[in-house]
Amino acid sequence: MSWLLVLIKSALLLFVVITTFAYAMLFERKIMGWMQLRPGPNRVGPWGLLQPAADAVKMLFKEDLTPSTADPLIYKLAPFISLVSAFGAYAIIPWSEPRPGDIWSIGNVNAGILFIFALTAIGVYGVSLGGWASGSKYPLLGSVRATAQMISYELAMTMSVIGVLIVAGTTSLAGIVHAQQRIWFVIPQLIGFAIYFVTAVAETNRAPFDLVEADAELVAGFHTEYSGLRFGLFFIAEYVNMLTVSCVATLLFFGGWNAPFGWTFIPGIVWFILKVLFFIFCYIWLRATMPRFRYDRLMAFGWKVLLPVATLNLIATAVVVAVKG
């Protein structure tokens, strides 16, 4: 009956992630509002708490348009590729470990972090195919930008994460968290963490790296032509990706469910959620503060700054580990 258990876990997690997405969106609008001296959404329900429901209803009932120049099959397929790759990561993210050896996750893959990279790689297709299939020039430009940006930053991201893998000596996410019981990897891998954080923002196409959307130049980038539910799927995918990179940052650099200062009286899952929330807050904070990069600067930054620094960090980590071990 293990498959039934997995199914129940998946359904539960799907529900949790969707709800988290909805409230992450509200959280973002609220925080952004406060940072811009506005109250944020406050009309639907108390303090605007029912705003996600209103948005969902609106999105579901909007007309789903397909442009006449679009390639209908790919156009319809692309949002699903985005969504599936965004949700796939949650199959292996470990949430907590209430008792030693009893890890809360759907599946514990040994090559966990690599699996997440694989899914990120698939996620690029949703963006690039969607932009191409829209059959109009802004989405095409947006998708070409997105493809180049995501591939470029994925390299630096992988490099920064490999440092952690070297220190932890394992690719399993749970194993990495176990290795952080004494000290969180953000301290020995501070440069790695900084690079991961920056590349994660770029990877999820959020401000200040939202060149893909760049409202001022590209209307809305790759999803300009999308409307209704299909737009909603892209939208969900973007936020779920943000949650994913926050979860991964927590697992790799902030000790996962390990309690800081030995405050173990608060359960690990709470710590995990708090840390993820902190990262989401940081993303929103960045978005409210930073202006958008210029595209050539973005590529130059990725290839000429982040990648070399990440590689140097990797080499230094390897040398230190080799000398000490």
Chain positions contacting another protein, by CB under 8 A: 31, 34-39, 42, 71, 73-74, 77, 107-111, 114-115, 117-118, 120-122, 124-125, 128-129, 131-133, 137, 140-141, 143-144, 147-148, 151, 154, 170-172, 175, 285-286, 288-290
Number of H helices and E strands in the chain, helices first, is 12, 2
Strand partners, 102: 99
Strand segments (E) across the chain: 96-99, 102-104
Pick 119 or 240: Cβ nearer another protein: 119
Distance CA(162)–CA(314), nearest Å, equals 7
Report how far residue 56's alpha carbon sits from residue 67's, in angstroms, rounded to the nearest whole number. 23
Can you tell me the distance from the alpha carbon of 177 to that of 104, in angstroms, rounded to the nearest whole number? Answer: 13
Nearer to another protein, 183 or 305 (CB): 305
Token output for 250: 């927590």
Q: How far is the CB of 30 from another protein (least distance, A)?
A: 10
Which pair of tokens denotes residue 245? 């990179």
Nearest to 228 by CA among 31, 60, 41: 60
Q: Which is nearer to another protein, 135 or 255 (CB)?
A: 135
Q: How far is the CB of 37 from another protein (least distance, A)?
A: 5
State in angstroms the smallest separation of the CB of 42 from another protein. 7
Rank residues 19 and 43 by Cβ distance to another protein and give the closer one.
43
> Which lies closer to another protein via its Cβ, residue 147 or residue 199?
147
Inter-residue contact 144 to 151 (CB < 8 Å): no
CB of residue 153 to another protein, shortest distance in Å: 12
Residue 185 CB, shortest distance to another protein, in Å, is 18
